[in-house]
Amino acid sequence: MSTKGRSKGLSLVDIPFDVRILIYEAILADHQCVKQNRQPSNTHIRILHTCRQIFYEARVVFHKYVSLRNDWEVDHYLTYLDSEPQAAAKVRWADIANDGRVLENTLGHVCNILASPISRLYLVLAKFVSLEKLRVFNVRHYHPHTTSSRYQLNFEGAMFPGPKGHKPLLQAYELHLDPSTRANPFQTLPSNHIRSLRLSGDCRFKKAPFPALRHLTIRGVTSNAFDQIRFNTSFPDCQLDSFIHAQGHRLGFEIRNVHLESLLAGPGSRLRKLVLLGSSRLSSATIASCLRSLPTLEYFALSLVTVNELRENFILALGPSLQVLKLQITHAWYAVPLFEEERIICDALEERILLRHWPHTVVHVSFHSQLMAEDGRQDRWKNIAAAQHLSLKIGPWEDEEET
């Protein structure tokens, strides 16, 4: 058969312009995903070299974001800004690696001399006058500046030195730090416009006003100061839509009953999304009480590690507004599995969630394999999900909640 009449395959430039813009935005969003606290690179800009048309279209989207992973990239970007000074004003989202080093003030406190950051990262940040979202990572590979002077660590001072100068009115501030990295957020940055906050590392949290805060994530925070935190007093002036907690490290902050109760008594009283990962200090009664007090909850993910009790069936406390349920129950290595109590929860989940015509669109569950094999429970649940048009996943799901 002749190939003359065959139509050629569509290329990206053959797609309507509005759709191409959506594709560029999807490429950037996928590129920005963080896994295991690893900072994204700038490889997303390679698509700009495809052709002249894509360059002029996609750069409007791609130049809103920049990632600076070490001092070499910082210096290279500063050189680029010398030739394209208008580019800095277009940056709205930035990922940066901060080692927190500043020159030590050898004169002590007798002289009001500000410590100077060793990296030139602060010079770049000062040029981002439109910055809305900042994510901070550890430096993995870097070209250190050689200096004979001594230095000290000042996490925010290395990025935004001094009380004066430009401080971005961030809407999102995220720390993706190793457990041993000490951070003192909001020593210099204003907090009034923060809508999304993620804390991690050895975080020494300073109480600050958060009137705009709607999304709070605490993952792998190793500072023992968080054991004393009470959300209704530490975040008194905000109303959260979502709250995510993950211990994230064996020495990480473990959420307890008093913490969850203070959350619901204060900023979390109207939560629509609640994620609790690796929780071993929460009682089943507190979890049930929490769920009963959240009539607007739409998304609930709980990874529970049982130790010595699972007395209350918290499935019965879930409200009709729930659309996504993710549940995993395991037991501590030194504890006895609570098979009978888990079996009761499984039965309630089948009757109250899978067989009800509630607007649940996603159900992810992970129980002991012994329970799933009993009476063909796993196959039965799959058949029910297919009949009810539910998205059902059986097996571990915690990795999906990486934030």
159 or 356, greater pLDDT: 159
The average pLDDT across 288-295 equals 96
- For tokens 């000074």, what's the residue? 85
Cα 214–216–217 angle (5° rounding)? 155
Residue 80's H or E segment, with its range, is: helix 71-83
CATH number of 272-403: 3.80.10
Cβ burial 369-394 (10 Å sphere, 16+ → b, else e): eebbeeeebbeebeebbeebebebeb
Which of 105-119, 199-213, 377-391 shows the lowest per-residue confidence on average (mean pLDDT)?
105-119
Phi and psi, residue 140, nearest 5°: -95, -50
- Residue 369: the pLDDT is 93
Q: How confident is the model at residue 2 (pLDDT cuts 50, 70, 90)?
A: very low
Which pLDDT does position 165 carry in this prediction?
67
Quote the pLDDT of residue 42.
85
Convert the pLDDT of each residue in 247-260 to its tens digit. 988 899 999 999 99
pLDDT higher than threshold 60 for residue 4:
no
pLDDT in tens, 279-291: 999 999 999 999 9
What was the pLDDT predicted at 270? Answer: 96
The reported pLDDT for the residue numbered 253 is 94
pLDDT at 11: 76
Q: Which residues contact 42 (CB under 8 A, 6 or more apart)?
A: 66, 67, 73
Report angle CA 151, 156, 160 to the nearest 5 degrees: 95
Instruction: Please report, for the chain, the start and end positions of each structural domain, with discontinuous segments joined by +.
Output: 13-62, 272-403
37-46, 181-190, 207-216: range with lowest mean pLDDT:
37-46
| 3-state secondary structure at position 402 | coil
Share of the chain above pLDDT 90, in %: 66
Average pLDDT over residues 265-282: 96
Encoded amino acid at 73, one letter? E
At residue 232, φ and ψ (nearest 5 deg) are -70, -20
Mean pLDDT of the chain: 89
pLDDT at 106 over 80: no
What's the rounded Cα separation, in Å, for the pair 139 and 102? 15
Average pLDDT estimate for 64-73: 94
Long-range contacts of 367-375 (CB under 8 A, 24+ apart): 367/328, 367/329, 367/342, 368/329, 368/330, 368/337, 368/339, 368/342, 370/339, 371/339, 371/342, 371/343, 371/346, 374/343
From the list 317, 243, 235, 252, the residue with the least C-alpha distance to 273 is 243
Q: What is the mean pLDDT of residues 157-182?
A: 89
